[in-house]
Amino acid sequence: MPAAWAMARSGLRVLVVDKLASAGQGSNKAAIGGIRATHSEPAKIHLGLRSLEIASTWEATYGQPIEWETGGYSFVAHHAREEAILKNLLETQKASGLRIDWYDAEALRERIPSLAPEGLLGGTFSPGDGHCSPMRFGHGLYVQAVKEGAEFLFRTEVTGLETDSARIRAVQTNRGRFEAPIVVNAAGAWAAEVGRMVGLEHPVRPDSHEGGVTEPVAHFLDPMVVDISPGPGSANYYFFQHATGQIIFCITPSPSIWGFDTRETSQFLPMVAKRMVTLMPRLQQLRVRRTWRGLYPMTPDGSPIVGPSKEVEGYLMAIGLCGQGFMLGPGLGEVLDRLVRDALTDDDRIVLEGLSPTRSFGGHAALK
């Protein structure tokens, strides 16, 4: 959606082919709404900063409310391991333009009074991050893309990508053939399936994550709170209070749950509730309204795969966003637009180098 909006805005002729019934019915409707530039790699920090600019000014620019709140993000630490990880990232984060600092336990609790003091060593706080409604923002992007001239074909399944002499020629669908000099694979959890249509094996596979939402209560929490300490069955968890009062939360399962199963489980709520209430005891009285499950299209190193294919000319990848498509998408859409128009900036080159499809995948993102 952001790529369609950015490209159409630049005057490119854009067609979006989607097998589902309407915009945002894939994985993004399962997003909890956080948008942050607090990442561990310069490429994602740059994308996050631009996404924040777009989201935070969306209502003022287009008159479409998306329930945006600039509440910040706080990554907390209860063990020396987490403290070292967070402190060691500060130099890279600040050098990339992120406003962020480490706060000891007392200073952090001044910002987030509801945090339990037991075992708290401190944490980082980045005030420019925030959150909004995935449904409202996604719909806003769709409306603006259409206004700029982008066309959408829903309930249309891609059945093949036609190539000639290792160059993209057309997209084949169950509703006809569409010639195109450039095709962008932004298929999320289904990216590997699309890649096979041009003979490529993309290292992307879906990992199931569950989220939930409580009843609304009076405002008491500004930032998204992220606890990266591992626990039984989980690698980390995070939660925030939405503009309309609900606490929205998610957990990262450990080990990963691979596959396309989006049915809720009975294990999720007891696991995440125990961890959240331990960190913030006042949450124990809240009633959970519902839970759901979505798909994270993961890569081996936890970072997206972005850029042109060396094997097939005209085939671009914007895949493996690792559950961060909602937060990185707005910035990434503009990078893809400039890539197509041969108008890359220095920041764009940092992004494309860091997320290159030809990288070794030997490392791992410290903050996924």
pLDDT in tens, 167-208: 999 999 999 999 999 999 999 999 999 999 999 999 999 999
Alpha carbon 334 to chain centroid, angstroms: 15
As beta bridge partners, residue 298 has 205
Are the CB atoms for 335 and 289 separated by under 8 Å? no
d(C-alpha 310, C-alpha 33), whole Å: 34
User: Does this chain's domain 2-65+133-196+302-354 share its CATH topology with 73-129+205-298?
Assistant: no
116 closest CA partner among 281, 284, 283: 281
CB under 8 Å, gap of 24 or more: what pairs does 336-339 form? Answer: 336/3, 336/6, 336/7, 336/184, 336/306, 337/3, 337/6, 337/7, 337/9, 337/10, 337/12, 339/307, 339/308
At residue 362, the pLDDT reads 80
pLDDT of residue 230: 93
Q: 247, 244, 249, 231: which is closest to 285 by C-alpha?
A: 247
164: amino acid identity, one letter:
D
pLDDT of res. 135? 95
Reply yes or no: is the peptide bond before residue 255 cis, omega within 30 of 0: yes
Classify 183 as helix, strand or coil: strand
Write out pLDDT tens, residues 92-133.
999 999 999 999 999 999 999 999 999 999 999 999 999 999
Q: What's residue 296's pLDDT? A: 96
Domain ranges of the chain: 2-65+133-196+302-354, 73-129+205-298
Report the pLDDT value the prediction gives residue 28, as an integer from 0 to 100: 87
**Interval 173-183: pLDDT, tens:** 999 999 999 99
Superfamily of chain region 2-65+133-196+302-354: FAD/NAD(P)-binding domain (3.50.50.60)
Q: How confident is the model at residue 321 (pLDDT cuts 50, 70, 90)?
A: very high
Residue 368 pLDDT exceeds 90: no
Q: Which residues of 182-214 are buried (b: 16+ CB within 10 A; e: fewer)?
A: ebbbbbbbbbbebbebbebebbbbbbbbbbbbb
Q: Which residues contact residue 2 at a Cβ distance below 8 angstroms, ignoring those fewer than 6 apart?
A: 141, 329, 330, 331, 332, 333, 334
* Cα–Cα distance for residue pair 357/261, rounded to 1 Å: 27
Q: Are 190 and 184 in contact (CB under 8 A)?
A: no
> Which CATH number is 73-129+205-298 given?
3.30.9.10
Indicate the helix (H) or strand (E) that contains 105: helix 105-111
